[in-house]
């Protein structure tokens, strides 16, 4: 009875409709809402504009914390890889960490007290959430598509579905819903309670999300009894580093995370102080940037699969991210001209469509390693991706906050307060939002162009 309670509701060797709907769409979609809404860009805005935290502490703390999270993630990935249960190696961690994602609300439950007490709470809550809870969930979630099937066509469709689920609807919440809410609840010390209420309501979504993703997924890829034993992390890494496809995939993931971390982390400030002159005005600009500038990410997904079928995943990814780099350059040259910025963002967004194929590229890199060596390196690969996902936002937040502090950023007193930021601050926000992504997306394109041959597939068709 107890065993049946924890069994997957999915059966069979073929991907099922309920698995697609709940395990790879609804569940990840709701969890991404929690992650984007509570632990994304708005957390930094809460620290700077609500708690009024500044100085070297806020500049250094995210980087140190993310470094710790990245190192812990490497160990966690190895631990997940060595786990063997009747319910799989990743799914038990998926359930536990998913339910614990509700603790994201504690990031905003800062007790009233001295400034030092607030810093202590921020440090503890930030490290516990990102170094443990968020790290375990991200690792286990990233392993689900590669472990779902050896059929590349079915797996590619799951990769696309899961990527769409974790971007479009959660993006609408983070990019449209929250700016409207924040423009109403405002900033400053008096708005702290309202922020806590909003983030608490979003955090509750983690419970149904975790249950759906756990009960409606199934690990069909299990270690082969003839698989070569390779116990050390260093040994697995050495094996993977000899594989060209795996190296290119990791280069792509690193460049993509750095580009998105700088662009996403600076977007609020870019909209507020480059395109606008206050938090209230910036909220309107932010909605326009997200709704119009990101529109291709929604409608363009309908074109992605036919393009992949005609030209292959790697070629589409290479050309797409070259286009995204050109779009970022257009944004950088546009200054505060809203129509030109939106045009550049549309190009960048359309070019970024192949990001939906990331899980498919990851799965094929794992298949390539397995074909060459007989070793299944899911845990190591998830650990490396988790490491990049942890380090990139930390580095971006540290550089963003350090730059703001050094260049003289003025925190607004209220949502309507028109703080006059100097030219250096505004230029800094432009570089973070456009220049760094331009370079990062160019590296993404080159990583898919390089290589001995164009490999698209290799598993069961």
**Is residue 325 assigned to a domain?**
yes
Task: Give pLDDT, residue 219.
Answer: 93
Q: Which domain holds residue 352?
A: 16-219+232-449
Q: What is the CATH number of the domain that holds 385?
A: 1.20.1250.20
- In the structure, what pLDDT confidence band is assigned to residue 318 with cuts at 50, 70 and 90? very high
- Say yes or no to pLDDT of 373 above 80: yes
Confidence of residue 416 (pLDDT cuts 50, 70, 90): low
Residue 76 has pLDDT above 70, yes or no: yes
Is 255 among the domain residues? yes
Secondary structure string (H, E, C) spanning the chain:
CHHHHCCCCCCCCCCCHHHHHHHHHHHHHHHHHHHHHHHCHHHHHHHHHHCCCCCHHHHHHHHHHHHHHHHHHHHHHHHHHHCCCCCCCCHHHHHHHHHHHHHHHHHCCCCCCCHHHHHHHHHHHHHHHHHHHHHHHHHHHHHHHHHHCCEHHHHHHHHHHHHHHCCHHHHHHHHHHHHHHHHHHCCCHHHHHHHHHHHHHHHCCHHHHHHHHHHCCCCCCCCCCCCCCCCCHHHHHHHHHCCHHHHHHHHHHHHHHHHHHHHHHHHHHHHHHHHCCCHHHHHHHHHHHHHCCCHHHHHCHHHHHHHHHHHCHHHHHHHHHHHHHHHHHHHHHHCCCHHHHHHHHHHHHHHCHHHHHHHHHHHHHHHHHHHHHCCCCHHHHHHHHHHHHHHHHHHHHHHHHHHHHHHCCCCCCCCCCCCCCCHHHHHHHHHHHHHHHHHHHHHHHHHHHCCCCCCCCCCEC
Q: Residue 4: inside a domain, yes or no?
A: no
Residue 112 lies in a domain: yes
- For 447-459, the pLDDT digits (tens) are 988 554 444 544 4
pTM over 0.85: no
Q: Is 224 contained in some domain? A: no
Indicate whether 162 belongs to any domain: yes
How many domains does the chain fold into? 1
Greater model confidence, 339 or 229:
339
- The predicted model gives 322-332 an average pLDDT of 97
Within-domain flag for 454: no
Q: Regarding predicted confidence, which is higher, 203 or 170?
A: 203
Is 6 inside a domain boundary? no
């Amino acid at each position: 009875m107890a065993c049946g309670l924890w069994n997957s509701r999915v059966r069979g060797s073929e991907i099922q409709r309920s698995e697609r709907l709940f395990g790879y769409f609804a569940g990840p979609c709701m969890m991404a809402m929690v992650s984007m809404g509570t632990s994304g860009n708005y957390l930094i805005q809460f620290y700077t504009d609500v708690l009024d935290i500044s100085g070297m502490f806020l500049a250094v703390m995210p980087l140190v914390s993310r470094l710790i999270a990245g190192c812990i993630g490497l160990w966690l990935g190895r631990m997940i890889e060595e786990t063997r249960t009747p319910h799989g190696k990743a799914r038990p961690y998926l359930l536990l960490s998913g339910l614990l994602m509700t603790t994201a609300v504690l990031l905003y439950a800062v007790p009233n007290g001295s400034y030092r007490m607030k810093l202590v709470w921020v440090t503890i809550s930030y490290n516990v959430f990102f170094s443990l809870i968020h790290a375990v969930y991200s690792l286990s979630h990233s392993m689900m598509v590669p472990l779902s099937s050896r059929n590349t066509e079915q797996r590619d469709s799951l990769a696309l579905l899961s990527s769409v689920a974790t971007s479009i609807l959660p993006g609408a919440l983070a990019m449209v819903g929250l700016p409207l809410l924040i423009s109403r609840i405002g900033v400053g010390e008096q708005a702290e309670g309202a922020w806590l209420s909003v983030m608490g309501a979003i955090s509750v979504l983690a419970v149904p999300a975790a249950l759906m993703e756990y009960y409606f997924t199934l690990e069909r890829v299990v270690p082969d009894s003839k698989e070569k034993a390779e116990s050390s992390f260093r040994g697995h890494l050495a094996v993977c580093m000899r594989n060209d496809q795996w190296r290119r995939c990791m280069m792509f993931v690193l460049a993509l995370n750095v580009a998105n971390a700088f662009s996403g982390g600076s977007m609020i400030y870019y909209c507020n102080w480059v395109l606008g002159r206050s938090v209230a005005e910036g909220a309107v600009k932010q909605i326009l940037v997200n709704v119009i500038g990101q529109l291709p990410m929604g409608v363009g997904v309908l074109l992605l699969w036919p393009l992949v079928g005609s030209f292959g995943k790697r070629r589409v990814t290479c050309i797409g991210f070259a286009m995204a780099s050109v779009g970022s350059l257009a944004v950088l040259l546009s200054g505060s001209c809203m129509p030109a910025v939106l045009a550049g963002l549309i190009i960048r967004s359309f070019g970024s469509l192949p990001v939906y194929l990331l899980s498919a590229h990851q799965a094929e890199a794992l298949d390539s390693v397995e074909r060459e060596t007989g070793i299944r390196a899911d845990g190591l690969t998830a650990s490396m991706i988790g490491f990049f996902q942890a380090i990139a936002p930390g580095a971006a937040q540290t550089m963003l906050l350090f730059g703001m502090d050094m260049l003289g950023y003025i925190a607004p007193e209220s949502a309507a307060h028109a703080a006059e930021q100097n030219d250096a601050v505004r230029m800094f926000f432009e570089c973070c939002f456009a220049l760094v992504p331009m370079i990062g997306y160019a590296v993404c394109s080159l990583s898919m162009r390089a290589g001995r041959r164009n490999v698209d597939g290799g598993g069961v068709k």
